[in-house]
Amino acid sequence: MDKLIIKGGVSLNGEIRIAGAKNSALPILAASLLTRDTVQIRNLPHLYDITTMLELLGCMGVEPIVDEKLSVEINSGTINSFSAPYELVKTMRASILVLGPLLACYGQAEVALPGGCAIGSRPVNLHISALESMGASIRVEDGYIKATVDGRLKGSHIFMDLVTVTGTENVMMAATLADGRTVIENAAREPEVVDLANCLIEMGARIEGQGTDTVIIDGVPELHGCSYSVMPDRIETGTYLIAAAATRGRVRVKDTRPDILDAVLAKLEQAGADIKVGKDWIELDMHGRRPRSVSLRTAPYPAFPTDMQAQFTALNAIAEGTGSITETVFENRFMHVHEMNRMGAAIRVEGNTVIVDGVEMLKGAPVMATDLRASASLIIAGLVSDNETSVDRIYHIDRGYECIEEKLQLLGAKIRRVPS
C-alpha cells in the first residue's frame, strides 16, 4: 500500500487540466447496459473507481474496449450475468447504479447490498422502494438485493423522501425503458444527474426537468448507442482551488465548468481569493495573503457540496479567525478532524458542526486517510504544514483524484508517492 509524503510550506502556482467527473462517468458507464448498441464514452477520468465499474461490467460478460485516449466503447450485447458481486460492491458503493439499468433492460438484477462506510450508514432503501413502485419485485436475501420484473417496468409517480443522487440516477435510468411516464419529485439537481440525463437523451430517452427537483421521463421501447463526453469534475476543480487558497498561491484550472461551482467560488471569495473565470477555466489568486475563515453548511446542489466539506475544514484550520462548518448530508463525515488535530489544528466537533479556530501553520505528522474527500483534505493540510507529513491509506485518493501527485507537482508542491 502506497503513501504520500508531503513537504509543506510551498505556495501552489501554475496551471492544470481538470479530468472528467467521476460521479457522472460512473452512472454513464452503467447506462451503457440499457442498450445492446455500442456506447462510446469520452473524457473518462483515470481513476480506480472507473476501473472497478469496468471490471463490474466485465464480470457480467460485457467487454469494454479502452482506447489510448481513455475513451471506452461498451457493447452490452454479450451480457451473460446480471449480478454485481459483493467483492466489487464493497470497494465501490456506486456499483448500485447497475440495478436500475439491468432491471429495466433484462428484467432481473442481483446487487450486493452496500454496507455502511466511513461517512455513515448510507442505506439504499429509496432506490428499492422507487423501483418497487414501478412494478419490480425486490427482496433482500443473503446480503443481496434480488430484483425481477415481469415484462417492462411501469411508469410511476415517485416522491423521494430525501434528495439522493444515485437514487435519482437509478430510477431515471430504469424509467427510460418503462411503460409510460415516470415523475420523480424531490429529485437530486446535481450537475452529474443532468450529465447522465443528457447522455440518456443522446441514447434516445425522453427526459425533461433534469436539473430541477421534478424530473419527467416518458419510457421508450428501446435505446440506441451514442458517443458522449463526460463533463468536467467540479469536486476535483474545487479541491485544487482550495489547495491554492490555503497555500496563499495562484493557480489556473482549465477544461472545467465555473457555472456549476457558484457555492464554492463564493466561499473562496469570502476567504479572500481573487477569482476570475472564463467559459472553461478558473483562476484563483491569493496575492500571497493568508485566507480568512469561512462558515458554511453542506446541502444538496445547488448548495455547498458535502464532497468539499473536508477540504474547507483544512483551509479553515490555517485561516485567520474562527469558522463553523455544518454537515447536513452525511451523519459521520468528520473523521479527518481528528487527524488534523494531530497536526496541530484547533478543531472541535459539536454534533454535526465543526468549529475551527485557525492557527498560523500546521505541523507535519503521519496521518491516515479514511475516505476519499478526507484524504484530499489531509493532503491540503500537509501542504500547509511546517515540515513533513505522510498520508497513509491513499488508495482512497486514487479512487477519485487522477494523478494527484503529478498535478500537485506541476503546481510546485513537494509531494511524492512511496510504498509504505
Given the rule CB under 6 A, which of 157-165, 212-220, 337-345, 391-399 is the region that contacts ligand UD1?
157-165
Q: Is-contact 339 378, C-beta < 8 A? A: yes
Q: Strand, helix or coil at 48?
A: helix
Instruction: Please write down the long-range contacts of 71-74, taking CB distance under 8 Å and 24 or more positions apart.
Output: 71/40, 71/41, 71/42, 71/43, 71/44, 72/29, 72/40, 72/41, 72/44, 73/38, 73/39, 73/40, 73/41, 74/29, 74/32, 74/38, 74/39, 74/40, 74/41
Check binding of 297 to ligand UD1 (CB under 6 A). no
DSSP 187-236: ----HHHHHHHHHHHHTT-EEE-BTBSEEEEE--S----EEEEPPB-HHH
> What's the min distance (Å) between Cβ of 192 and ligand UD1?
6
Across the beta sheet with 214-218, what order do the strands follow? 157-159, 181-185, 214-218, 206-208
Given the rule CB under 6 A, which of 122-130, 142-150, 220-228, 391-399 is the region that contacts ligand UD1?
122-130
> What's the min distance (Å) between Cβ of 128 and ligand UD1?
7
Check binding of 312 to ligand UD1 (CB under 6 A). no
* Contact characters 347-376, ligand UD1, x per CB under 6 A: ------------------------------
Nearer to ligand UD1, 89 or 413 (CB): 89
Residue 177: how many CB atoms within 10 A of its CB? 22
Q: Spell out a b/e string for 188-200, using b for 16 or more CB atoms within 10 Å of the CB, else e.
A: bbbbbbbbbbbbb
Check binding of 59 to ligand UD1 (CB under 6 A). no
Q: Strand, helix or coil at 323?
A: strand
Check binding of 307 to ligand UD1 (CB under 6 A). yes
Binder among 25, 94, 199, 337 for ligand UD1 (CB under 6 A): 94
Check binding of 48 to ligand UD1 (CB under 6 A). no
Binder among 167, 249, 291, 323 for ligand UD1 (CB under 6 A): 167
Check binding of 124 to ligand UD1 (CB under 6 A). yes
Nearer to ligand UD1, 281 or 312 (CB): 312
| 117 among known catalytic residues | yes
Binder among 7, 36, 42, 122 for ligand UD1 (CB under 6 A): 122
Check binding of 109 to ligand UD1 (CB under 6 A). no
Cell of 279: 467559459
Binder among 29, 172, 329, 365 for ligand UD1 (CB under 6 A): 329
Q: Calculate helix-pair angle for 125-133, 99-106, nearest 10 degrees.
A: 20
- Among 332, 324, 322, 318, which residue's Cα sits nearest to residue 386? 318
Task: Provide the CA 402 distance to its chain's centre, in angstroms.
Answer: 13
Q: How many residues bind ligand UD1 (CB under 6 A)?
A: 21
> What's the min distance (Å) between Cβ of 193 and ligand UD1?
9
* Contact characters 6-25, ligand UD1, x per CB under 6 A: -----------------x--
Q: Is-contact 401 47, C-beta < 8 A? A: yes
Stated as kind and residue range, the H or E segment containing 243 is helix 234-246
Binder among 62, 72, 98, 127 for ligand UD1 (CB under 6 A): 127
Binder among 61, 115, 123, 302 for ligand UD1 (CB under 6 A): 123
Nearer to ligand UD1, 145 or 362 (CB): 145
Check binding of 408 to ligand UD1 (CB under 6 A). no
- Beta strand 281-285 with 274-277 is antiparallel
Check binding of 165 to ligand UD1 (CB under 6 A). yes
Nearer to ligand UD1, 113 or 403 (CB): 113
Residue 139's alpha-carbon distances to 69, 84, 142, 169, in angstroms, are 41, 15, 10, 21
> What's the min distance (Å) between Cβ of 221 and ligand UD1?
28
Active site residues: 117
Please report, as ranges, the residues that interact with ligand UD1 according to CB under 6 A.
23, 26, 93-94, 120, 122-127, 162, 164-167, 192, 306-307, 329-330
